[in-house]
Copies of this chain bind each other. A is one copy, B any other.
Amino acid sequence: MSFPIICIFLLLSSFSHAAVQDFCVADYTVPDGPAGYACKKPVKVTVDDFVFSGLGIAGNTSNIIKAAVTPAFAAQFPGLNGLGISTARLDLAVGGVIPFHTHPGASEVLIVVQGTICAGFISSDNTVYLKSLKKGDIMVFPQGLLHFQVNAGGTPSLAFVSFSSPSPGLQLVDYALFKNDLSTDLIVATTFLDRAQVKKLKGVLGGTN
């Protein structure tokens, strides 16, 4: 019976290297590349690399948007690296809003777990796709398009969102325009907004120039 055993070991060892590519748990200590973070050595990988508990706690919604986004992207959740998917938690207090934003490299699916959410996206030909979503409804937001979510009820809302990329990114239009040192002149020229409006929002969001 020793014969088979030996062979099975040989057979296995011949594949142990290939297993490297079953997954690629992120190693944040070395440079990353266009496809994602470098891979941790399989021998150092544990089940905890594939489990993330950060979405169990409600985000802090005591802020200007009365909302919070808690990401579980490859940058926070190493097991996702290279697997083409990620997720996040959305907390919307009463009156909470996730302002107009895009995910530069990913499509999004939203699942309402609690409350009512009014969500919408705009297509390249400026058509509005708008819907009021109740518990259990899901909505998809195609890649890169402008979209938003608003709490449409009198109670807090909770939703989980998933993305078609381990690092979908998040670009909030207001933050991109008003939360940096882009000059008021350039913003006025490239958005048609009034100078006073730009100055006001730079004040609220901490932008300069």
Q: Residues of A at under 8 Å CB distance from B?
A: 3-8, 10-12, 14-24, 27, 30-39, 41-42, 46-48, 50-53, 55-57, 60, 62-64, 68-77, 79-87, 97, 99-100, 102-109, 111, 113, 118, 120-131, 133-146, 148, 150, 160, 162-165, 167-171, 173-177, 179-182, 186, 189-194, 197, 200-201, 204-206
Determine how close the nearest CB of chain B comes to the CB of A85; give it in whole angstroms.
4
CB closest chain-B residue, reference A158: B113
Least Cβ distance of A195 to chain B in Å? Answer: 11
Judging by beta carbons under 8 Å apart, are A181 and B144 in contact?
Answer: no
Q: How distant is A158 from chain B, measured CB to nearest CB, in Å?
A: 9
A189 to B100, alpha carbons, bound, how many Å?
9
| A160-B160 in contact (CB<8A) | yes
Known: A52-B138, A56-B137. 10 other contacts (CB 8 A): A6-B63, A15-B170, A24-B32, A32-B33, A42-B123, A50-B142, A51-B137, A97-B189, A104-B145, A173-B191
A49 to chain B, nearest CB (A): 9
Report the separation of the CA atoms of residues A24 and B104 in the bound assembly, to the nearest whole angstrom.
14
- A31 with B27: CB separation less than 8 A: yes
User: In the complex, which residues of chain B have a beta carbon less than 8 angstroms from the beta carbon of A131?
Assistant: 47-48, 50-51
Known contacts A124-B15, A136-B56, A176-B126; is-contact A164 B167 (Cβ 8 Å):
no
